[in-house]
């Protein structure tokens, strides 16, 4: 990959990573937090670009070199605790406070996404000590437990995942800032929880993860049937419509719990540590009905799972048997999360008040400039269009209907406004009464036919250039 194609240059990535520091709860939303958030987002995008192009992932290697993975995990746990304990205490959001709060909510998703792409490298997982891995496993299990116990109707009615453009506009017009932040929290929590399925598959060791995966396979949150009998699947961080004839085609997201199940039941090391009881046996056997020829053709390794389940069905378990694991009197327990909870146990309300007081002095334009700086990078559109990392635009390759789309003119056109003499054109610039008369603006519209991409909306398909 040429240097011009990098979203972040290697020496810039090393500088950003070297300056990553732990963030306590009282620093959430501060200027230091915004700096770190921007750096982590850039590193995350570059890591996904390197993974997509199958090139040297210098971001992941630098995280190992400078030993910053534990810092990312600490910040992930601190951000999670802030969302869980401090965020519900907030009230009376102003414009600046609502935007800054969204940054804090979104930061957890960025950290989780960066860890997800890092943990695809086996040596990264092996570099972490037992205590840090236990923290990651506990974190993933909390998210997966939330995903299992949250009613599917909540995702249908309280998010914009399955709503038309008109419904979303009406909802945004009537929702308060608090309601909008609550919706954004719910959508981000869903995305993070799905990412945790992948992370847990890479690092699972303890917990009753096996039965959690069984529950996800029986009632998958990443599959949705609309009232009009159309189907959608959540893959590559976006919902994609699926034709009925393609419903049995496994997506990357759907494959994760199956692969985890394979390692849990077919690995001797895992079986030796897992005590099978009559209850667990009956629960695990519930997934046997999903293993058919179509499934085995796509994931041949599941043939071993099928064989194990067939053998398990005829095994008589002794209900009084006690495994070696049950005799264990000492084991590794998570300490970072416990220490954070102990340190801030009685301070959540005070932290919320201090946070809103600090937001009162925030200049909203500074946050807009931060947005422009983070997302004004070469190659970003290509990464999002390809579904390489975070939420991407749906393209024609993702749709089940392969008939040629009909060209139509879009009902509206989004113009990028920037200072024309700026070397790197900003994609976002904030105007208000204080600067709209003094800032000279230039609007440039260039249409490159070779770059046109098919975009599928609720109103039909059109070509985006």
Q: What is the pLDDT of residue 426?
A: 46
Across 121-147, average pLDDT: 90
Mean pLDDT of 279-284: 89
Query: Please, which pLDDT band fits residue 423 given cuts at 50, 70 and 90?
Result: very low
The tokens describing 413, both together, are 């056109």
Tokens of 62: 């630098």
- Report how far apart, in Å, the C-alpha atoms of 14 and of each of 127, 226, 293, 439 are: 19, 46, 48, 36
* Over residues 280-291, mean pLDDT: 91
Where are the strands (E) in 226-377, listed by range?
231-235, 238-242
Q: In what order do the strands lie in the sheet with 231-235?
A: 223-225, 231-235, 238-242
- pLDDT for 399 equals 32
What is the average pLDDT across 430-455? 56
Please tell me the predicted confidence (pLDDT) of residue 361: 84
Residue 287 near residue 309 (C-beta atoms within 8 A): yes
| Contact assessment for residue 213 and residue 147, using Cβ atoms and an 8 Å cutoff | no
- pLDDT higher than threshold 70 for residue 317: yes
pLDDT at 8 over 70: yes
Least confidently predicted of 164-173, 182-191, 331-340, 393-402: 393-402
Identify which of 250-254, 315-319, 431-435 has the greatest average pLDDT: 250-254
Is the model's pLDDT at 189 over the cut of 90?
A: yes
Whole-number percent of the chain with pLDDT over 90? 43
Is the pLDDT assigned to residue 397 strictly greater than 50? no
Residue 362: is its pLDDT beyond 90?
Answer: no
Three-state SS for 100?
helix
pLDDT, tens only, 51-89? 888 888 999 999 999 999 999 999 999 999 999 999 999
Closest CA to 69 of 131, 120, 132: 132
Residue 443, token pair as written in the block: 């609007």
Selected residue with higher pLDDT from 158 and 323: 158
| DSSP per residue, 104-133 | HHHHHHHHHHHHHHHTTSHHHHHHS-HHHH
- Looking at the chain, the whole-number percentage of residues with pLDDT higher than 70 is 76
Query: Do the beta carbons of residue 105 and residue 35 sit within 8 Å?
Result: no
Backbone angles phi, psi at 274, to 5 degrees: -115, 120
Q: What is the mean pLDDT of residues 301-306?
A: 93
Considering only residues 372 and 318, tell me which one the structure prediction assigns the higher pLDDT. 372
Q: And the tokens for 326?
A: 């049950």
Task: Give the pLDDT of residue 91.
Answer: 76
Is the pLDDT at 200 greater than 90? The verdict is: no
**pLDDT given at position 12:** 94
- Residue 232, beta-bridge partner list: 224, 241
- Please report the pLDDT score of residue 373 as a whole number: 77
The answer to whether the Cα torsion of 455, 457, 462, 465 is positive or negative is: negative
Q: What is the pLDDT of residue 277?
A: 83
Model pLDDT, residue 443: 59
Residue 38, pLDDT above cutoff 50: yes
Reply yes or no on whether the pLDDT at 217 is more than 80: yes
Does 24 score more than 50 pLDDT? yes
- At residue 427, the pLDDT reads 47
pLDDT: which is higher, 458 or 86: 86
Backbone φ and ψ of 443, nearest 5°:
-110, 125
What is the average per-residue pLDDT within 229-234?
A: 91
In this predicted structure, the answer to whether residue 2 has a pLDDT above a threshold of 70 is no
């Amino acid at each position: 990959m040429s240097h011009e194609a990098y979203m972040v240059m290697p020496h810039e990535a090393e500088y950003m990573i070297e300056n990553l520091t732990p963030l306590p709860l009282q620093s959430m939303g501060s200027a230091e937090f915004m700096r770190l958030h921007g750096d982590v987002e850039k590193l995350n995008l570059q890591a996904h670009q390197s993974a997509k192009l199958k090139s040297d992932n210098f971001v992941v290697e630098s995280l190992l070199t400078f030993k910053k993975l534990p810092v990312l995990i600490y910040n992930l746990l601190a951000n999670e605790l802030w969302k869980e304990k401090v965020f519900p205490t907030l009230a009376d959001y102003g414009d600046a406070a609502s935007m800054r709060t969204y940054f804090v909510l979104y930061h957890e998703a960025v950290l989780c996404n960066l860890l997800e792409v890092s943990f695809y490298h086996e040596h990264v997982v092996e570099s972490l000590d037992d205590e840090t891995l236990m923290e990651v496993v506990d974190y993933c299990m909390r998210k997966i437990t939330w995903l299992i116990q949250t009613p599917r109707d909540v995702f249908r009615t309280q998010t914009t995942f399955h709503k038309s453009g008109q419904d979303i506009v009406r909802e945004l017009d009537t929702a308060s800032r608090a309601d909008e932040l609550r919706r954004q929290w719910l959508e981000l929590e869903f995305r993070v929880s799905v990412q945790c399925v992948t992370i847990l598959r890479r690092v699972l060791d303890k917990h009753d993860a096996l039965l959690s995966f069984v529950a996800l396979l029986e009632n998958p949150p990443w599959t949705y049937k609309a009232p009009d009998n159309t189907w959608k699947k959540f893959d590559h961080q976006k919902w994609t419509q699926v034709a009925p004839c393609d419903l049995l085609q496994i997506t990357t997201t759907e494959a994760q719990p199956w692969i985890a199940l394979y390692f849990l039941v077919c690995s001797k090391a895992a079986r030796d540590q897992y005590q099978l009881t009559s209850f667990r046996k009956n629960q695990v056997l519930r997934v046997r009905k999903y293993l058919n020829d179509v499934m085995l053709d796509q994931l041949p390794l599941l043939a071993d799972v099928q064989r194990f389940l067939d053998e398990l069905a005829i095994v008589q378990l002794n209900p009084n048997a006690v495994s070696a694991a049950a005799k264990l009197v000492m084991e590794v327990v998570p300490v970072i999360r416990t220490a954070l909870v102990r340190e801030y146990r009685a301070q959540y309300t005070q932290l919320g008040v201090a946070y809103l007081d600090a937001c009162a002095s925030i200049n909203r334009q500074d946050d807009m400039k931060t947005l422009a700086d983070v997302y004004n990078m070469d190659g970003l559109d290509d990464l999002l269009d390809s579904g390489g990392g975070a939420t991407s635009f749906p393209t024609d390759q993702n749709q089940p209907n392969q008939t040629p789309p009909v060209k139509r003119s879009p009902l509206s056109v989004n113009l990028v406004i920037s200072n024309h003499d700026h070397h790197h054109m900003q994609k976002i610039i904030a105007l208000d009464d204080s600067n709209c008369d003094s800032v000279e603006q230039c609007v440039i519209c260039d249409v490159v036919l070779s770059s046109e991409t098919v975009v599928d909306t609720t109103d039909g398909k059109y070509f985006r250039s």
